[in-house]
Amino acid sequence: MTLSLLFDSMIAAFALGAVAAIVLPPGAVMRRVALAAAAAGSAAALLLGASVLRAGATWTGRWENLLQPLGGVSLRLDSLGAFFLVIVGFTGVPASLYAIGYLRNLDGHLRGRATHALFNVFLASMCLVPCADNAGTFLFAWEVMALSSYLLVVSDPEQQDASSAGLWYAVMTHAGFLALLAAFVILGQGGSWEFVALRNAAAALTPAARTLVFLLMAAAFGSKAGLVPLHVWLPRAHPAAPSHVSALMSAAMVNLGIYGLARVVFDLLPPGPPWWGGLLLAAGVVTALTGVLYSVAETHLKRVLAYSTVENVGLVFIGLGFALLMRGYGYGPLASMGLVAALLHTLNHAAFKSLLFLAAGSVVHGTRSASMEAFGGLIKRMPATALLSLVGALALAGLPPLNGFPSEWLTFQLLVAGAQHTAPALAILLPLALAGVALVAGLAAVSGVRLFGITFLALPRSDGARDAHEASAIMIAAMAIPAVTCIALGVAPTLVLPQLSRIVSDLGQPAGPLSAGFALSVPLVGSRLWPGAIALLVVTAGLAAAVAVRLAGRVRQVRVGPAWNCGRIAQSPRSEYTAAAFAEPLKRVFTGFYRPTQEVTVEVHPASRYFVRAIRLRADLAPWMEQILYEPLLRAAQAASDRMRRIHSGSIHFYLALLPGALLVLLIVARWIR
């Protein structure tokens, strides 16, 4: 009963927020009411998910009259759905609170109404997706989520590239929607679109049809999650949205793609051949590598984070693919380990990515720039944001004692255990995957150093950075929520392991215990990780050294002076390392991947070419994935529409003749389908 109450109050809060944004007079009150309602709704979602997870119960709800043409609204929240509901609620609360301080400049704008209302709709639809229990409800919530986030992406008129980003997003998400629809149509041939019926229908399908459903679903959910090569919209759309929406898109919406795939592959479809898992695993490795390589080279702050989302989605897919692969081969304990690793990483990524996007919002807000080249030295002007970002950067780098590390460690263990205990057929795939994950981990550390160091350290490189202002108190408080979670999950990941094990065993993969006390333990490889003790060791050793220095070192003789800089007298921000410079060695090492383009223009004095007045360097990376994969498609679409245009002759007689022709074709098709 309380579960229903929680669900009702969640929906009521979002509805209240959306209505308040539209009817209240535009101003501070409207902003506070609408966004506080969003926060309350998210908190209710968090509570609902958490209580379902803790009680091990399921909650169901059914409204026949709503959405009748789609088979009525049918909801069922089991442990898997509840976990993702928790993630949405958990990222929704700080994002909403943050927006109260962040969107102050929208007061009085008409745009403010739309933004706040859509934000509530977006959150509500994301909360509905993991609750849906029939294809109709699922598709409806999915499409509302896509549309509201699309409108939020294009909502900022000051973003020049928002409309192009929105176009990419709209096209990709609808292509994904079509694939999803097609898959559900194949599954729903029995007539009913309830998930129970789909489960039975899937068992009756031929293997070829099942594979088709799997591929369609993988493409549809993969495109939402940012699986390479369907990721192209993500680094465009996520950064173009306002930062609190970026946080939600990267930390919650992307995960619903993962939810969808997990639901289909581990719940709706019966176990498939191992190569399904191999495909997902390989796609995961490619995705993680592509994401991290671009995130290391990108200089637009929010795009760095968006590419890092691609990377982390890749890591989650490695876990999912591994689980599927092992289930295919019949290694149950390994399969459940893979699922646990994937779910844990999803949670960890949601925590640190929402933190980092919100912090990026503060930086962009405080400096009025989004390019990392224009930052520098912000740690002095924005101390709180800098400290919170350091937590996020360490987690993003996958380093202990933050939460990026335990799930990465589990992924390593997974691949080692897989290589140790399974068929020789995987003798090359799994070591290569392990090497890929290790390279991703290393490059993520580079990305973390670069993200934090180039943004917050050294001297300010622009006027905006020199006069940057700290975020408001409520924004800092909102960022502190995920930051504390990052630390808690990093020091004691075992707190959530029982819940994850329950989800996995609910999916029919009984999990062996992966924890021993406060330590993660993988009996298959005989390895352990006790993150709390590790954190304690690092901190104790560091503090002991600090005490030693204070007692014995000559701390009194500390002079603060100009940097030595190897004897250079003047220190100028023009000579310090920039984001592009920091990534230069990697760009050279991975030239084949980046395909950098360079253009150097030298301006010389008219008197002599030896007097150089200015040298300009323009460096860019060739977007070869787009060029190779999408340009042919675009050209084909262009050609097709050109051909269609020829019908438009302007003659009304011709148009009238087309009408009965079209009717005839439709009748024949309808007859054939019947």
Binders of another protein among 439-498, rule CB under 8 A?
A: 439, 441-443, 445-446, 448-450, 452-454, 456-459
Burial class (CB in 10 A: 0-12, 13-18, 19+), 548: exposed
Contact present, 44 and 64 (Cβ < 8 Å): no
Please tell me whether residue 580 binds another protein under the rule CB under 8 A.
Answer: no
Which lies closer to another protein via its Cβ, residue 279 or residue 387? 387
Task: From 248, 351, 369, 250, select the one nearest 307 (Cα to Cα).
Answer: 250
Is 405 one of the binding residues for another protein (CB under 8 A)? yes
The verdict on 274 binding another protein (CB under 8 A) reads: no
Cβ 448 to another protein, closest distance in Å?
Answer: 7
Tokens 């998210």 belong to which residue? 42
Map tokens 């005989």 to a residue. 526
The contact pattern for another protein, residues 526-565, with x = CB under 8 A and - = no contact, is xxxxx--xx--xxxxxxx-xx--x--xxxxxxxxxxxxxx
297 closest CA partner among 574, 591, 615, 625: 591
Rounded least distance, CB 287 to another protein, Å: 17
Q: How far is the CB of 348 from another protein (least distance, A)?
A: 14
Nearer to another protein, 93 or 402 (CB): 402
Please give the size of the binding site for another protein, defined by CB under 8 A.
92
Determine, following the binding rule CB under 8 A, whether residue 423 of this chain makes contact with another protein: no
Which is nearer to another protein, 216 or 586 (by Cβ)?
586
Q: By the 8 A CB rule, do 257 and 225 touch? A: yes
CA distance 564 to 573: 15
* Footprint on residues 19-48 left by another protein (CB under 8 A): none
Q: Does 633 bind another protein (CB under 8 A)?
A: no
Nearer to another protein, 103 or 318 (CB): 318
Counted residue by residue, the chain has a size of: 674
Q: Does residue number 525 form part of the binding site for another protein (CB under 8 A)?
A: yes
CA distance 576 to 661: 70
Give the three-state DSSP class for 620.
strand
575 is an interface residue for another protein by CB under 8 A: yes
Q: Single out the residue of 55, 196, 203, 581 in contact with another protein (rule: CB under 8 A).
A: 581
Q: Which is nearer to another protein, 353 or 450 (CB)?
A: 450
Which of 22, 23, 55, 427 is close enough to bind another protein by CB under 8 A?
A: 427
Q: 112, 321, 436, 493: which one contacts another protein (CB under 8 A)?
A: 436
Stretch binding another protein (CB under 8 A), from 25-33, 247-255, 299-307, 414-422 = 414-422
**Triad 478, 484, 489: Cα angle to 5°:** 135
Taking alpha carbons only, the member of 273, 268, 287, 288 closest to residue 325 is 273
| Contact set for another protein, span 211-240 (CB under 8 A) | none
- Tell me which of 177, 275, 577, 593 binds another protein, using CB under 8 A: 577
* Binding span for another protein by CB under 8 A among 114-122, 279-287, 520-528, 644-652: 520-528
What does 460-495 look like in DSSP terms, one character per residue?
--SHHHHT--PPPHHHHHHHHHHHHHHHHHHH-GGG
**130-159 positions binding another protein, by CB under 8 A:** none
Examine residue 592 and tell whether it contacts another protein (CB under 8 A).
Answer: no
What is the CA angle 427-414-286, rounded to 5?
70
CB of 288 to another protein, least distance (A): 13
Q: Rule CB under 8 A: is residue 12 a binding residue for another protein?
A: no
Q: Which of residues 600-619 bind another protein (CB under 8 A)?
A: none
Q: Work out whether 513 is an interface residue with another protein (CB under 8 A).
A: no
**Which 3 state secondary structure label does DSSP give 135?**
helix
Question: Left if phi > 0, otherwise alpha if psi is -120 to 50, otherwise beta: which for 69?
Answer: alpha
Q: Among residue numbers 326 through 385, which ones bind another protein (CB under 8 A)? A: 376-377, 379-380
Provide the β-strand partners of residue 74. 62
Q: Which is nearer to another protein, 325 or 507 (CB)?
A: 325
DSSP calls for 266-322: IIISPP--HHHHHHHHHHHHHHHHHHHHHHHH--BHHHHHHHHHHHHHHHHHHHHHH
Q: Confirm if 340 and 417 have CB atoms less than 8 A apart.
A: no
Structure tokens at 478: 């909102």
Which of 336, 407, 413, 499 touches another protein by CB under 8 A? 413
Q: Segment 65-104, which members bind another protein (CB under 8 A)?
A: none
